[in-house]
Structure 1
Amino acid sequence: MARPGGFKKSLNLLDLTFLGLGSIIGSGWLFAAASAASFAGSYAWVSWLIGAVAFILIGLVYAELGSMMPRSGGFVRYPHYTHGSLVGYLIGFISMLAYSSVAGIEVEAVRGYAATWWTSLGTKAAGPTTLGYLFEIILLIIFLLLNYWSVNVFGKFNTVITTIKFLVPILTVIVLFTHFHASNLSVGGAKPGGAFGVFEAVSLSGIAFAFLGFRQAVDFGAEAKRPQRDIPLAIIFAILLGTVMYLLLQFAFLGAVPAGELAKGWANLTFEQAPYADLAKSLGLLWLMNVIFVDAVISPSGTGNIYLSGTTRVLFSWAKTGLFYSWFRKVDARTGIPRGALWLSLVLSIIWILPAHLNFWQGLVGNVTSATVLTYMIGPISVASLRKTAPNMDRPFRLKALGFLSPLTFIAATLIIFWSGWTTNLEIIGLTLVSLILYFAFVDKEGMRERIRSDWKSGSWLVVYFIFMLIISRLGNYQLPTGAKPIIASPWDSVIVAVGAIIFYYWGVNSAMPQPEIDEDDESDIALNASDV
């Protein structure tokens, strides 16, 4: 008999790995290679390596946290455990923004590909039509229904879908390599190109966005059968498999583009609406074009489905901290799903696809990348803080050389945020700082009011960090407003960001609460074996 309000413990290592891999291989594979080539040209593969190294470091940090404390929506709760309500609220708010928008990105990707043969859905230049918006909303409703009944059905469905959508990129790589032209690797014409283009591609072309999905193993930790063993393995497997796949896809794309299409350089390719399908068509591979069009529905849809479910866990976790409405922490006893949070996830996802200035895939990607990495950068600080304040906690996975890798991870995450640029960071960080008005409303209740002073002492570094990132983003050289000139030229802007990151890292670690406040007996998080239902 299931205990009321409990998650069901039904996901194995394969399920967790495919949750991560299924999120990593979504719309990113359909667009990121072409977008990265426009930024960095034939050096786009370097951008993938930079992104992979950064996210392997981030993943290893969360492997330790996830194995120590398998919690639903753990990314929201770990900073609350170590640094209190202010940090917990800020990370929770950004997580809500980051997660809820990804499902919108994925349905936009599906519509974008579908619009090449169903033109009534809209165009890249004009965006979705009314029918296009309706198409996207219906897809989101389908995702809700797939998540509504049970996590076991959701997990098994995702494993099957991920297996299918993994095969199409493999087929695409094999076929395109038969049309590989090594001379393409010496073609220029990227914008901005060079080292600047390589760094900008990491954040804005979809590379960092593609790797964001590794976190699913952590967010579904409370529903894993063997979380201490499987969470670290699932994180590592998902990132490594995704890295290999994306490097192969990038080289296949770079080498297979016909010479005539490169006459004006990488930044002027005409493969915009459906890059891989357009490339296959230009090579006379109509059968491959049709296969890619089918996968353009399956791949992003699978990822959107995962992220709608992941958003549900984030909202649940935020409510568990007491910093969001308590109704969203209620778990349906029969299905093990926080259905109130699931409905809110649907509403938020729909809101993200409606503003006209966020219609396009690449525009949304920059916002989501910055927002999500803003939630990741706290991990290195939390794990280092726990090494100091809770040294005797059981650590099934213990990251070696933490004293070196943890600050390096924080620097890498901070640079990715910075490379997202001024325009993106102003929207995300500015909105988060304004949202502090809600924080004071949530903590203005019995039992929390007296904590404000100590929690601000533990969390003020994060507010200053956000302000620093806003200032340096405006002074630097990435995504400035039209006509604006950088005050600090590259690469010195990135150097200053890295130095600042070191300062904030040690400030954050030393600001942790003397004793972490971890909910040892968390009734709503007790994971139940499927056999108990």
Structure 2
Amino acid sequence: MNPEKKQLSLFDLSMIVVSLVIGMGIFRTPVNVAAKAQIPELFFLAWIVGGFVALCGALTYAEIGSRYPVTGGYYKIFSVCYHPSIAFAINCIIVVSNAASVAGVSLIGAEYLNKALFPVEMQTNDHRILIGLVSIIIFYTINLLGLRTSSRTQNVLTIIKLVMVVTLICAIFFGGQTQQLPSVFNTANGLPATWSDYGKALGICLIAVSFSFGGYQQTINFGGEAKEAKKVIPRSILVGLGIIITLYMAINYAYVKVIGFEQLKSAQSIAAILAGQIFGPTGFTILSVLIFLSVLGYVNVNLLSNPRAMYAMGEEKALPQIFTKKTKKNDVMVVSLTVFTILSIITLFYAKTFDKILNYTIFMDGAGMIFSAATIFYLRKKTAHLDKNTIYTMKLYPLMPIIFIAAYLFVAISIYNDDSEAALNGIYIFLGFVAIYFINKFLNRNRAV
């Protein structure tokens, strides 16, 4: 790669890590984690474990990106390291998973806007689905007009989001903390909890925690664009994840102190509750709207990025040629954009609730994480000739990637135990895409003849 292109500094990469990870999950998933953890100790342990797993994963992806420095590396490593059918199926699953994330996050925003604008009797799940649907359609329409986001806008949105999180943490200093009721860990058989019971609960907690920590895998796309990659990449990941873990632990502490752990298990619009503690009813409404607007930004980014992956697959003939079609006026990938939007809307209506979408998304996303992280073992051998002074090489190899892969296997098993339908659907979708690959290859061969 041309040295002039290596322009990302420590600050740039740290902010990229932060912006990739801190999404909308932290404004909703603590409710899921608290309900499954049952006791505060397990609740906070789940966030600590999730942060450590994220660190192992991010450093693994940083080395993959350093050893295979290409634009869109997260998409392309699969075709380099696996059979084309596996690469096709995994990349399709990533697109479907991202579509599910758009549906899930649009529901988070809908929950906040629904509570801010409508009286209690009108706050139905149908209204949330409708708000989520309108959000997706609005940004689909805007993207058809050729909307483009800039890195400067992304940095501004990241800073706004960070300021929002720090402001919410300050709720613990404004009095009115809820009296903490004693929490009891209840087992299915009514007997005292064993280590196995705690382990199963931790695994279920990590489903929602993984959703909140997701995104750092995209660091793989920046391995060849950093100044002094060997030093900057690991430092930026440590700085970025250090900021994220500190903010996540602090805001979760604020949730527990201000809302109360028992109340947190079933609370809605938890971030807006903290805002109400600081600014009163007006703050509750204003922050609800701000979070909804942040959701729209997330939806927009995904409607911009994922169609490009589908377009690239069309160029490589992994998907039909029609996926490369663009509009003449605005150069928009109209077919890829439309298909991705339809996938998001189908998930919205199919799953209907955030909890259902969460299991469905993390199971499929976990498959992509496991397969992509495992490429480090292949790339280590294939790129053994590279100058170690020019690339990043993680310490504690192979322990860190093994921990990461094992953690996501643990989460996948936990999802199967908690919601076997979501897990089996994920497996069927994977096998379906493998079948589609071979059918498409067979049809293309016949056309060539």
Question: TM-score range with shorter-chain normalisation?
Answer: 0.7 to 0.9
Q: In the alignment, what sits opposite 1:323?
A: 318
Read off the aligned partner of 1:47 and give its amino acid letter. A
Aligned positions of 1:348-427 closer than 5 A: 348-355=343-350, 358-393=351-386, 396-421=391-416, 422-427=420-425
Q: Tell me, which stretches of 5 or more residues in structure 1 are unaligned?
A: 1-8, 450-533
Q: In the alignment, what sits opposite 1:209?
A: 211
2:161 matches 1:161: no
Read off the aligned partner of 1:21 and give its amino acid letter. V
For residue 172 of structure 1, report the CA deviation from its aligned partner: 0.7
Q: In the alignment, what sits opposite 1:438?
A: 436
Read off the aligned partner of 1:256 and give its amino acid letter. V
Conserved? CA contact 1:66–1:228, under 8 Å? no
Query: 1:195-217: CA deviations, max 9, x gaps?
Result: 432321110xx311111122333
Query: 1:112-171: CA deviations, max 9, x gaps?
Result: 11111333999665333785355223443266369x444xx4322111111111111101
Conserved? CA contact 1:76–1:95, under 8 Å? no
What is the aligned-residue identity percentage?
17
Read off the aligned partner of 2:27 and give its amino acid letter. L
When residues 143 and 231 of structure 1 are mapped into structure 2, their CA distance, relative to the original with a 3 A threshold, is: farther
For residue 255 of structure 1, report the CA deviation from its aligned partner: 1.4
Aligned positions of 1:76-475 closer than 5 A: 76-119=75-118, 125-128=124-127, 131-132=130-131, 134-141=133-140, 144=143, 148-150=146-148, 153-179=149-175, 184=180, 186-188=182-184, 194-203=198-207, 206-219=208-221, 228=229, 235-257=237-259, 265=262, 269-272=265-268, 274-278=269-273, 281=276, 285-319=280-314, 321-328=316-323, 341-355=336-350, 358-393=351-386, 396-421=391-416, 422-444=420-442
For residue 377 of structure 1, report the CA deviation from its aligned partner: 0.6
Q: Tell me, which stretches of 5 or more residues in structure 2 are unaligned?
A: 189-196
Read off the aligned partner of 1:367 and give its amino acid letter. Y
Q: In the alignment, what sits opposite 1:24?
A: 21
Read off the aligned partner of 2:22 and give its amino acid letter. I
Conserved? CA contact 1:114–1:293, under 8 Å? yes
Q: Distance in 1 between matches of 2:337 and 2:28?
A: 28
SS of residue paired to 1:354: helix
For residue 54 of structure 1, report the CA deviation from its aligned partner: 1.3
Q: Distance in 1 between matches of 2:176 and 2:69?
A: 45
SS of residue paired to 1:374: helix
Conserved? CA contact 2:129–2:348, under 8 Å? no
Q: In the alignment, what sits opposite 1:518?
A: none
Q: Distance in 1 between matches of 2:13 and 2:331?
A: 17
Q: Distance in 2 between matches of 1:60 and 1:413?
A: 16
Q: Distance in 2 between matches of 1:297 and 1:305?
A: 12
Query: 1:352-373: CA deviations, max 9, x gaps?
Result: 2232xx1222221221111112
Taking structure 1 as the reference length, the TM-score comes to 0.69
- Tell me whether 88-97 or 395-404 shows the greater mean CA deviation: 395-404
For residue 73 of structure 1, report the CA deviation from its aligned partner: 3.4
When residues 187 and 131 of structure 1 are mapped into structure 2, their CA distance, relative to the original with a 3 A threshold, is: closer
- Tell me whether 337-346 or 168-177 shows the greater mean CA deviation: 337-346
Q: Distance in 1 between matches of 2:69 and 2:356?
A: 33
For residue 244 of structure 1, report the CA deviation from its aligned partner: 1.6
Q: Distance in 1 between matches of 2:66 and 2:121?
A: 45
When residues 56 and 79 of structure 1 are mapped into structure 2, their CA distance, relative to the original with a 3 A threshold, is: same
Q: Distance in 2 between matches of 1:32 and 1:322?
A: 38
- Tell me whether 274-283 or 40-49 shows the greater mean CA deviation: 274-283
Read off the aligned partner of 1:156 and give its amino acid letter. R
Q: In the alignment, what sits opposite 2:191?
A: none
When residues 179 and 310 of structure 1 are mapped into structure 2, their CA distance, relative to the original with a 3 A threshold, is: farther
Q: In the alignment, what sits opposite 1:468?
A: none
- Tell me whether 61-70 or 286-295 shows the greater mean CA deviation: 286-295
Q: Distance in 2 between matches of 1:10 and 1:30?
A: 35
SS of residue paired to 1:127: helix
Q: In the alignment, what sits opposite 1:33?
A: 30
- Tell me whether 134-143 or 404-413 shows the greater mean CA deviation: 134-143
Q: Distance in 2 between matches of 1:63 and 1:176?
A: 36
Q: Distance in 2 between matches of 1:165 and 1:441?
A: 45
Conserved? CA contact 2:21–2:215, under 8 Å? yes
Conserved? CA contact 1:47–1:207, under 8 Å? yes
Query: 1:302-330: CA deviations, max 9, x gaps?
Result: 33233333323432443455422345457
Q: Distance in 2 between matches of 1:266 and 1:31?
A: 14
Q: Distance in 2 between matches of 1:434 and 1:378?
A: 17
Query: 1:257-285: CA deviations, max 9, x gaps?
Result: 25xxx6xx457x5523x123245547883
When residues 166 and 372 of structure 1 are mapped into structure 2, their CA distance, relative to the original with a 3 A threshold, is: same
Conserved? CA contact 2:200–2:414, under 8 Å? no
When residues 172 and 83 of structure 1 are mapped into structure 2, their CA distance, relative to the original with a 3 A threshold, is: same
Taking structure 2 as the reference length, the TM-score comes to 0.81
For residue 78 of structure 1, report the CA deviation from its aligned partner: 0.9
